[in-house]
Amino acid sequence: MDYKSFFLTYFTLRSVALICISGCILGALFIIKVYLKGHLGYTGNVIRKLVHISVALWSCWAFYVFDNKYAALTLPLFFIAVHVRPLRVRLYRIAHLEGEYHAGTLYFPVAVALLFWFCWDFPARWAALIGLLNMGIGDPMAALIGSRYGRRQFSFGAAVKSYVGSSVMFITCFITTMCMLWRAGYLTDISSVIAVFCIAASAAILEAISGNGLDNLSVPLGSAFIYSLFYQI
């Protein structure tokens, strides 16, 4: 297939319209991020977690509204390209966000792109959805509640976490994974509960030991991998 046929096949008017809508949504998130930082005084950690939730929900939405993975990949690949250092520094300077860059903001779209590419079709899509929701909901819950109530902390390399935060991460991932397996029709017996436990536990462990934003990569991909050990993808 030549380039012209490729674009005509995968980038239909509907796909282009969805890309534009998605771009507007993600652009609005960036504007909200600037506003929350500059006018309401929210910390960088809170803003990052709100962005994580939004991007994870957009990614799950993209699985169902885009006709193909090539069109859906446009946004995460664009976001990765923007974070090439010269472009990222210039963009953050324009938005008065110098010093706010966090490596996790690059790792998460990388994880989204990999899950789009390898897990686009069912039944593999369930693995991707679980991975994205574990990261997009579990990690923010763990960070926000852990930073508020986590008095006792532990460290692993560059990662410094709280016991409360890790517990919240496990509980949240257990709930999200169980909901997705129920939606997929796989929550049928005790082996399903064991699978839920293992996926949630692995997500909590990966979040606890991954420093410097690497949990944005390890949690979604690790959750999807553990899922694949229990269910055919």
pLDDT at 95: 42
pLDDT at 199: 97
Ranges of residues in the chain with a pLDDT under 50 are 86, 93-99
pLDDT at 40: 55
pLDDT at 27: 79
pLDDT at 55: 86
Name every residue whose Cβ is closer than 8 Å to that of residue 161 and which is 6 or more positions away in sequence.
142, 146, 150, 153, 154, 155, 207, 208
| CA 82/CA 103 separation, integer angstroms | 13
pLDDT at 226: 97
- 111-132 pLDDT, tens digit per residue, is 999 999 999 999 999 999 999 9
- Model pTM? 0.86
pLDDT at 156: 84
- Containing domain of residue 44, as a range? 3-230
Number of structural domains found in the chain: 1
